Structure 1
Amino acid sequence: MGFYVPKNKVANLSKYKYQSEDRSIISQKILKPFWNQFVNIYPHWLAPNVITLSGFSFVLINLITCIFAAPDFKSEHPKWCYFTYAIGLFLYQTFDACDGLQARRTGQSGPLGELFDHCIDSLNTTVSMLVFTSVTMLGFSYYTVIMQFFLLMNFYLSTWEEYHTHKLFLSEFSGPVEGILMIIGSFALTGIFGPDIVWRMKIYQINEHFCIETFHLLFVFCGLALVFNVIYAQKNVAIFYKEHTSSKSECERKIKNSNIQLLPFFAFFAIIFMVSILDSRFINLPFIFANGLIFAFVVGRIIVAHLTIQKFPLYNLPTLLPLVTYTLSAFASHVLGYKSDSVITYLSLFQLGLALGIHGSFLNEIIYEFTTYLDIWVLTIKHPKAVKSN
């Protein structure tokens, strides 16, 4: 057995049971009836994981379009681009919802599907954030780093909550439903009115150097949403342990330990913020994308720990990569005398390649372990089962 799934834990996959609770009115009344009809376009022989990957391809196309349309991520795009971003993100949301429906209608539900789905979602968080950053013309700035912190923290909270409660909660307002719909709407509005009106409209002039614009309200909203999600997630975890522990002291101990498990995320982003402040040239596409891959690796390990009933993976060495990259940059520039701009570019690309390799090797091992034990394939259906109607 590999490093991420010990031999004595892989058998816990047989105990897997998916649980979720969706309190979104929009999801219940509008989207789910649509998804239940949309899933019928897929043939019964199509593996659910193919649908997951296909959905992710739409947001990747959005990112590639952004890179060609506005390489600096702070220029206006051709108007048609904004509408394609809205369509691409809507298709991603639809495919992401339908992969689970396809799994149930073909009898292929299992832990590999949940792992695959959540790992793709964790990558999409950074990819879609980059597209949104380009649409709002923020470029590669401190705003971009703050935006990534907000979005990834929400995803980390959701994964942490599911690890402890064994249930995926979607509140009355959640990122996968209302959050994505709001972004889709903002893309469409940007295509109609232009980014200057939607994102750069002046609201209040504080002084000659700083003016509050509409995009600042977005950060206020994201901050409030994050505070709400922190409170909501911690409340759900606390309620779970109060209902499932025999003594008050044990309950308090488990709640305390669960809160400690939030610290690694803050430590990771403390490093990112520190590097960004020390040298803002590190706020570039490879660096941001590499940090997104490191994050996907971290939450991937939490998901695996949840599925195989392991201890929470508190320590992850790849989270130190931004600090290592900065240290190597300072050494190469100040000690060896290389040009700092070139050093930062090459080391950012080096970090991206290393993060991609780490995450890729993690997925390769986990997929091998899961498919071997469960006797299934990843992108094709090995054992067809009776088709279930929706």
Structure 2
Amino acid sequence: MGYIPPHALHNLKKYKYQGVDKSILSNYVLNPYWNWLVERWPKWVAPNTITFCGFVLVMLNFATMLYYDPAYLTEKGGATGPPQWIYFTWAAGLFLYQSFDAIDGKQARRTGMAGPLGEMFDHGCDAMNTTLEVILASQALNLGRSWWTVASQIATLANFYLTTWEEYHTGQLYLGVFSGPIEGILIIVVIFVVTGFRGPSFWDQGILTITGLEKVGWISETVPDVCLNVAFMMFGAVGLAFNIVTSYSNVYKSRRQSGQSPFTPLLYLLPFPATVLLQIFWLSHPSVGDSAIIYSSSLVPFLCAWGLMFAHQVGRVILAHVTKTEFPLFDPTWTWSLIGALDVNLPRILGRPPIIQTSPGRLHLFVLATLFISLASYARFVTLVISDITEYLGIACFTVRKRDEGGHWTSPTKARWNKVDRVVKAENGKIH
């Protein structure tokens, strides 16, 4: 065993997924489609394989963005790509990712593979997808190298952290009438489709201009004609506020029902704003209006490193949930960001130049090193956790296999039929 404490391993067998989905779209529109889709997959395909296939599609979307716009200039910065048809492939890839993400649990129940490994694997892919979609959606919205892209990253990660924090304290995954995994993803799909038809510059138009309301005197005099992409950011802020209230309301009710303090969980919200402030401190060098990272090709690797550290952070929270261990308040992966933020801001703190990031080139190399270290750290976490869970529960990650009582690998279906055969033979007095 390498990552999960030995005393917590037995809790893996007690784990049982609990979820609440109040989405109208999910229950009445998408669920019939998902039920049809899961039947198209053979029962010998493992649920984690389906999840991973969806994530590969998102990675392909991200790869095309890097190919056509490696510097992340976007159209407003002078980028000549990607061609508009690419955005349709991003829409298709993301929609299929959502579909595969929705049916992996159904496939787990079909194959008898439901358990904590699926929860960990599903949330791990979701956590990484969150940052990748921020980068892709900001490119499609023509936000590019701006604080708006950073704000989008913060809001999206905040929603994910809230959901994970809520699940830890309530014991169930709660999806409201409007949630990121359902409505949020579909909105981004629509953004990709619109961009495919109209191009990224479409989103720079004022919302009053595009709707024709600028011709209405009293509206144009009282309502600012903000750009469509900025209006979308404002809508996201409202959604975040709504989710904060909803998540805490659910935690409050759950804690009161169990006779526990409803205010103690608020302490476990602090790690997220603390890490956000740390990243903003780093990004604000040499000034907020002239960020050396945001307004350079370092932005994408910086956001990816941030996303991987976040995935490690929430991965440990989910692990604590399925093993019933203490909530992790501190994550060591943030130490590297702390070093970067302090080093680059030495002129503000001590009045002396940075020690490591002494030039734009060295700053870029340090950001790339941060990306490499965060990737290695998260890969180590994923590998060890998968190894611990599969070894202890006697299951495979990417195949529909389990160990029988004799330690031999077999499919769950075969194992169930073998058990039935033994019972029948015993009843006939033929077993020996």
TM-score (norm 2): 0.83
Match of 1:304 among 319, 330, 336: 319
Residue 233 (structure 2) aligns with: 219
**Local SS of the residue matching 1:282:** coil
User: Residues 90 and 368 (structure 1 numbering): CA distance in 2 closer, same or farther, change over 3 Å?
Assistant: same
User: What do the CA deviations read for 1:270-295 (whole angstroms, capped 9, x no partner)?
Assistant: 01111111242223111110000000
CA contact (8 A) 1:21 1:167 kept: yes
CA contact (8 A) 2:51 2:101 kept: yes
One-letter code aligned to 1:318? T
Give me the whole-angstrom Cα distance separating, in 2, the residues matched to 1:100 and 1:381.
Answer: 14
CA contact (8 A) 2:166 2:173 kept: yes
CA contact (8 A) 1:268 1:320 kept: no
Residue 424 (structure 2) aligns with: none
User: What do the CA deviations read for 1:187-230 (whole angstroms, capped 9, x no partner)?
Assistant: 11111122222x11024799xxx972111101110110000000
User: Residues 259 and 217 (structure 1 numbering): CA distance in 2 closer, same or farther, change over 3 Å?
Assistant: same
Shift of 1:315: 1.1
CA contact (8 A) 1:35 1:97 kept: yes
Is 1:85–2:85 an aligned residue pair? no
Give me the whole-angstrom Cα distance separating, in 2, the residues matched to 1:95 and 1:344.
Answer: 39
Residue 193 (structure 1) aligns with: 198
Is 1:273–2:280 an aligned residue pair? yes
Larger Rg over CA atoms: 2
User: Residues 335 and 325 (structure 1 numbering): CA distance in 2 closer, same or farther, change over 3 Å?
Assistant: closer
Shift of 1:70: 2.0
Kindly report which structure 2 residues correspond to 1:286-301, keeping only aligned pairs within 5 A, or say none.
286-301=301-316
Is 1:364–2:383 an aligned residue pair? yes
**Local SS of the residue matching 1:315:** coil
Shift of 1:264: 0.4
Is 1:26–2:31 an aligned residue pair? no
Shift of 1:21: 0.6
Give me the whole-angstrom Cα distance separating, in 2, the residues matched to 1:234 and 1:78.
Answer: 43
Most deviating of 99-108 and 75-84: 75-84
User: Residues 267 and 36 (structure 1 numbering): CA distance in 2 closer, same or farther, change over 3 Å?
Assistant: same
User: Residues 337 and 228 (structure 1 numbering): CA distance in 2 closer, same or farther, change over 3 Å?
Assistant: closer
Shift of 1:336: 5.9
Structure 2 stretches of 5 or more lacking a match?
76-80, 210-219, 403-410, 417-432
Match of 1:233 among 240, 244, 247: 247
CA contact (8 A) 1:329 1:343 kept: no
One-letter code aligned to 2:19? S
Residue 129 (structure 2) aligns with: 124
User: What do the CA deviations read for 1:53-101 (whole angstroms, capped 9, x no partner)?
Assistant: 1000111111111112222331253111111110010010011111111
**Local SS of the residue matching 1:100:** helix
Give me the whole-angstrom Cα distance separating, in 1, the residues matched to 2:30 and 2:275.
Answer: 35
How high is the sequence identity, in percent, across the aligned residues? 39
User: What do the CA deviations read for 1:335-385 (whole angstroms, capped 9, x no partner)?
Assistant: 669751111110000000110111111111111111111011111122323
One-letter code aligned to 1:123? M
One-letter code aligned to 2:23? S
Give me the whole-angstrom Cα distance separating, in 1, the residues matched to 2:356 and 2:251.
Answer: 52
Give me the whole-angstrom Cα distance separating, in 2, the residues matched to 1:271 and 1:327.
Answer: 9
Give me the whole-angstrom Cα distance separating, in 2, the residues matched to 1:114 and 1:148.
Answer: 23
Structure 1 stretches of 5 or more lacking a match?
246-250
**Local SS of the residue matching 1:212:** coil
Is 1:373–2:396 an aligned residue pair? no
CA contact (8 A) 2:356 2:362 kept: no
CA contact (8 A) 1:158 1:233 kept: yes
User: Residues 265 and 338 (structure 1 numbering): CA distance in 2 closer, same or farther, change over 3 Å?
Assistant: closer
Give me the whole-angstrom Cα distance separating, in 2, the residues matched to 1:337 and 1:85.
Answer: 38
Give me the whole-angstrom Cα distance separating, in 2, the residues matched to 1:100 and 1:268.
Answer: 32
Is 1:282–2:296 an aligned residue pair? no
Shift of 1:322: 1.9
Shift of 1:329: 4.8
Give me the whole-angstrom Cα distance separating, in 1, the residues matched to 2:361 and 2:305.
Answer: 18
Give me the whole-angstrom Cα distance separating, in 2, the residues matched to 1:171 and 1:338.
Answer: 44
Give me the whole-angstrom Cα distance separating, in 2, the residues matched to 1:62 and 1:244.
Answer: 44
Kindly report which structure 2 residues correspond to 1:13-162, keeping only aligned pairs within 5 A, or say none.
13-73=12-72, 74-75=74-75, 77-162=82-167
Q: Give the count of matched residue pairs.
A: 376
Match of 1:354 among 364, 373, 387: 373
**Local SS of the residue matching 1:281:** coil
Residue 202 (structure 1) aligns with: 206
Give me the whole-angstrom Cα distance separating, in 2, the residues matched to 1:374 and 1:300.
Answer: 19
**Local SS of the residue matching 1:21:** strand
Match of 2:269 among 262, 265, 271: 262
Shift of 1:327: 3.5
**Local SS of the residue matching 1:120:** helix
What is the CA RMSD across the aligned residues, in angstroms? 2.1
Give me the whole-angstrom Cα distance separating, in 1, the residues matched to 2:305 and 2:266.
Answer: 26
Shift of 1:143: 1.2
**Local SS of the residue matching 2:91:** helix
Residue 248 (structure 1) aligns with: none
**Local SS of the residue matching 1:169:** strand
CA contact (8 A) 1:55 1:92 kept: yes
Give me the whole-angstrom Cα distance separating, in 1, the residues matched to 2:254 and 2:344.
Answer: 46
Residue 6 (structure 2) aligns with: 7
TM-score (norm 1): 0.92
Give me the whole-angstrom Cα distance separating, in 1, the residues matched to 2:385 and 2:269.
Answer: 24
Most deviating of 302-311 and 69-78: 69-78
Give me the whole-angstrom Cα distance separating, in 2, the residues matched to 1:20 and 1:97.
Answer: 13
Identify which of structures 1 and 2 has the higher relative contact order when contacts are C-alpha pairs closer than 8 Å and 6+ apart: 1
Give me the whole-angstrom Cα distance separating, in 1, the residues matched to 2:172 and 2:354.
Answer: 52
